[in-house]
Amino acid sequence: MSVVADSAMRISIRQRNAQCYTRAVARRHYGFMLGAVGLLGFFIAMVLSWVRWPVPSIHDEFSHLLLADTLRHGRLSNPTPEAWQAFQSFHTILVPTYSSKYPLGPGALLALGWVLFGTPTAGLWLGAGFCSAAITWTLAAVVPRRWALIGGMLIALHPAMHTEWSRSYMNGWLTATAASIIVGSVVRLRKRNSIFASIILGFGIGLMSLCRPFEGLIFTALCLGSLVWHWGIEGQITARRLMTASLGGLPCITLAIIVIAAHNFATTGSWLCMPYQLHEAQYAVAPLFITQATQAPEMATTGENSMPALFEKINSWSVGEYSRYTGVAGFLRGVFQRLAMIRDFWGWWLAIVPCFAIVLWRVSSLVRWSVLGVISLVTATSITHWSAPHYLAPIVPWLAILATLALRRVACLAKIRPRFIVATVAAYSLLSIVWVMTESHAAESQEWSMRRFKIEAQLNGIGGKHLVFVHYRENHNVHQEWVYNLANIAESQIIWARSCRDDWRQMVIDKYGSSRSIWETDADSPSTLIRSACKE
């Protein structure tokens, strides 16, 4: 009897060892899968950048680069430069400190790429890799891992996302990464109580608050609300579960709040006043929300530090945009505009799978949550009159879940092997990316920025330090702004300044001109630099 028992024990031990080995191999394969998808996204973004190097051309891009340069020098903001009046520009704060108006997240991503690879463009590569891996991790809690791999490839090879985000310093990669972490954690917490998932959830919420505070707050509320609702439906709400979910994520959320408060204080002098709020109070006429009235900015059109005429033009344009979205009709216009943006930006997901009805044939709570989440976020964010693809980046994981479930359903009904789906998706995506790489980009929005870029390259080739005064004509396009500088203006090799007022011009020359070559350029002329005749 003892021999039989001993034999059975040995078999049991061997089985347990085999199971442990299998789980260890699965974990290694899982980590390899996440890394492979992340590297694929990183590689595609890097190749696109090398084919056509991203050159900032939108106001927001210059502001994010300013924040990235500030962070890579170990600061949250910079002292107000002397003769700051001539350096005023869009989305930039100069008083009481010199900084970007935007949250830390996007700038921190660019700063990370700048430190690791020597260029802020590398931040775009890292963002694509992070997002692709995060989507794969999220989908692994929803579908089998091979299908999670397919869903991750949909992001890593997504032509529209790479075209929009891997070529612009104003992108939604990090926001989509944070959203994926939140969704993946919530899906895991719906299944079982896990302190690890709670910690990751807190990390995702903290990261989201550093990227898109407004949209992130709505997105987080929708996710946490769905989690509590699911627990209530399943009868799983217990004090222990709530305590685990709360305490696990509390440290990361608290740390994010401290970082945000420190950034607020370093930039605005107040723990509670965000840089965005201060900038809007100083310069903006049109409010952020369509429920608010227009305002008179502090930097009014009269006085010693008044706004240049260029700011009057941009405010006139922004008020016109704001007026289009006020009232019920304007709100509905905003909703449909965002839905059209989803169609244009992520529409190829829906083109691959003929319709979501195949997925909804057996409606699960996860599908309902994803569909309602997209609709709710689009509706709630329509109270703002600005819209762009990176504003809606939080819906990326929901779209990934719906598309992957739809692909899986199609494969099951048509009895198609997953490897065929992988090959089809990869071929379509790569062909689309190749088309993007070879298409012409001689748009007006790029032509002026390339002229500015070439002037910088020309001056860098000359060597020494330079001061460039920019002249604008009466009919100048307000979306083509030249006057942007990095964090340390006094030490910069090239300083860009306005030439709209003689007193501002003289202040800049007195402070910075003695050790620099002085140049003039016409922002509305195809010609290059004209060197100043004297240093005045």
Q: In terms of Cα–Cα distance, which of 10, 23, 107, 28 is closest to 61?
A: 107
Give me the residue spans of the domains in the chain. Answer: 1-53+103-436, 446-531
CA of 446: how far to CAs of 53, 227, 438, in Å?
12, 45, 16
Residue 476 tokens, joined = 């100048």
The one-digit pLDDT tens for each residue of the chain (536 residues) are 455 555 555 555 554 544 444 444 445 677 888 999 999 999 999 988 888 889 999 999 999 999 999 999 999 999 999 999 999 999 999 999 999 999 999 999 999 999 999 999 999 999 999 999 999 999 999 988 888 988 898 899 888 888 889 989 999 999 999 999 999 999 998 888 888 889 999 999 999 999 999 999 999 999 999 888 888 776 667 667 777 777 788 899 999 999 999 999 999 999 999 999 999 999 988 998 999 998 888 776 556 777 777 778 888 889 988 999 999 999 999 999 998 888 877 765 544 444 554 455 566 778 888 888 888 999 999 999 888 889 999 999 998 988 888 888 777 777 777 777 777 777 777 777 777 666 644 444 578 888 999 999 989 888 899 999 999 988 888 889 999 999 999 999 999 999 888 889 999 999 998 889 999 999 888 766 777 745 54
- Inter-residue contact 357 to 195 (CB < 8 Å): no
3-state SS assignment for residue 490: coil
pTM higher than 0.85 for the full model? Answer: yes
Q: Measure the CA–CA gap between 191 and 197, rounded to whole angstroms.
A: 11
Q: Does residue 89 contact residue 71 with C-beta atoms inside 8 Å?
A: no
Distance CA 164, CA 143 (A): 28
SS3 340: helix
Distance (Å, rounded) from C-alpha 189 to C-alpha 196? 10
